[in-house]
Amino acid sequence: MINILQKRQFRLLLACIALLLLVNLITDTYAKYISSANANSDLTIASWAFLVNNQDVLQNADFSNTIVPVFDTDANIASGVIAPTSTGYFDVTIDSSDVNLAFDETITLAQGTSNTVSDLVFTGYTLNGGTLVPLNNLTTTTITSNHTVNEQTTTNTYRFYIAWNDDANTQTMNNAADTAQANTGTASVSVNINFIQRASSN
C-alpha cells in the first residue's frame, strides 16, 4: 500500500514538473513580441565635376590644348605670333554647373616652364566681360574666388591679358636678348587651377 502511494506521488511530481516545463516553453515561445527589420538606402553623393574650356578636368587635368592665345592686330607684326611690344589675351572658362558643393577656386598664372622670354607679363584680367583688374606687368599672380552652393552664375570666363613688355624702365631683356628669342626662344605661360571643397559649416 505504501509502495503504491509512493508511486502515485512520484507520478504526480513528474506530472507537475512536466507541466511547469511545458508552461515555461510556451511562455518563451509565445509570450514575447520579437520584431526585426532591415533596409538598404542608397545615398546621393554630391557631384564634383568641373569643365575648363569644355574639357572635363577630372578625366584629363591637362587642358593645354584648349588655351588659344589671341594677339592684338598690329600692322608691324604678323598675325598669330608674339614679338616685343605684342599684346594679347587668352580665355579660361570654368563651368561648375554640375557641382553640388561650396568650393574655393584658385588660379595661378606664371611664365611657363619652357618660357625663355622673361619680359612676358600679365597685364590684367576680366571676369565675364566686367571691369579690367590690372596686374601691373606681373610674371606670376594668384586669383582666388569663393563659390557657394547653388549660386546663380556657374559658368565664369576669365580673360587674361598678356604682353611682351618692351618698356625701357621695366623690361628685363635688352634688344639683343629680344632678338635672340626670335631664333631660339620659347614664349609660354602656365595656368594652374585648384578647386577645393569648403568645409561643412556644421
d(CA 103, CA 96): 10
- Residue 15 has phi, psi (to 5 degrees) of -65, -40
Mean pLDDT of 102-123: 93
pLDDT, residue 122, reads 95
Q: What is the pLDDT of residue 142?
A: 96
Q: Are strands 189-197 and 133-138 parallel, antiparallel or unpaired?
A: unpaired
- Please report the pLDDT score of residue 18 as a whole number: 55
**Could you write out the DSSP letters of every residue in 139-174?**
SEEEEEEEE-TT-S--EEEEEEEEEE---TTT-SS-
* All structural domains of the chain: 48-197 (2.60.120)
Residues in the chain: 202
Contacts of 167 (CB under 8 A, 6+ apart): 137
User: What average pLDDT score do residues 54-66 get?
Assistant: 91
With CA atoms as reference, report the closest residue to 87 among 141, 166, 158. Answer: 166
| Four-point Cα dihedral 115, 182, 81, 143, nearest 10 | 20
Q: If pLDDT is split at 50, 70 and 90, which confidence band does 24 have?
A: low
Could you tell me the pTM of the whole model? 0.79
